[in-house]
A = this chain, B = another copy of it.
């Protein structure tokens, strides 16, 4: 496991995921996330790897230039918290690697739900001892799927061998990012409605 502060992928002390592997398979079915997408995600890993810092620069640039999003990384006085932003950034880069690995099993599932808790009041700021807004609102958590996926395309274009391959990888990332956004929403949704 990479040595990243607060990174707990495969930590056996995390609570088990509230979704079964059968339910995850159904969810992948609704998302049309099939074996071709898994292959495309895995093929995208080595393409993205040398550019992950640059990709994070684009995402952080977007958040930093969007006041209603920077708010979530700022304290009550409206000051952005640089240490918090830096710690989240390291895990965000690792999330790219973990998503490209596309081993969507119980271990991965439990970690996605933990990431969800860290966006919600029940877990936000805690891991990083931060003093920022108490929750990232659900609506923006899910909506961020779009800028994340849109900014990936130029990076995929640098390495994929053809335009149809770029399309296939980009489509796979759209499905995978929406899948993680749905799972991160778990703590936000009322009991029984998820």
Contact with B along A118-129 (1 / 0, CB 8 A): 001100000000
A146: interface (CB < 8 Å): yes
- A143 contacts B31, CB within 8 Å? yes
Interface members, chain A 21-76 (any B CB < 8 Å):
26-27, 29-33, 66, 68-69
Q: In the complex, which residues of chain B have a beta carbon less than 8 angstroms from the beta carbon of A66?
A: 29-30
Specify which chain B residues have a CB less than 8 angstroms from the CB of A88 in the assembled complex. none
**Does A144 lie at the interface of the complex (its beta carbon under 8 Å from any beta carbon of B)?**
yes
Ordered by A's residue number, 24 sampled pairs between the chains whose C-beta atoms are within 8 Å are A26-B140, A27-B139, A30-B68, A30-B139, A30-B140, A30-B143, A30-B144, A30-B146, A31-B146, A135-B192, A135-B193, A138-B189, A138-B194, A142-B142, A142-B181, A143-B178, A143-B179, A143-B182, A146-B174, A174-B174, A178-B178, A188-B189, A188-B194, A189-B190
Interface of A with B (CB < 8 Å)?
19, 26-27, 29-33, 66, 68-69, 120-121, 135, 137-140, 142-147, 150, 171, 174-175, 178-179, 181-182, 185, 188-190, 192-194
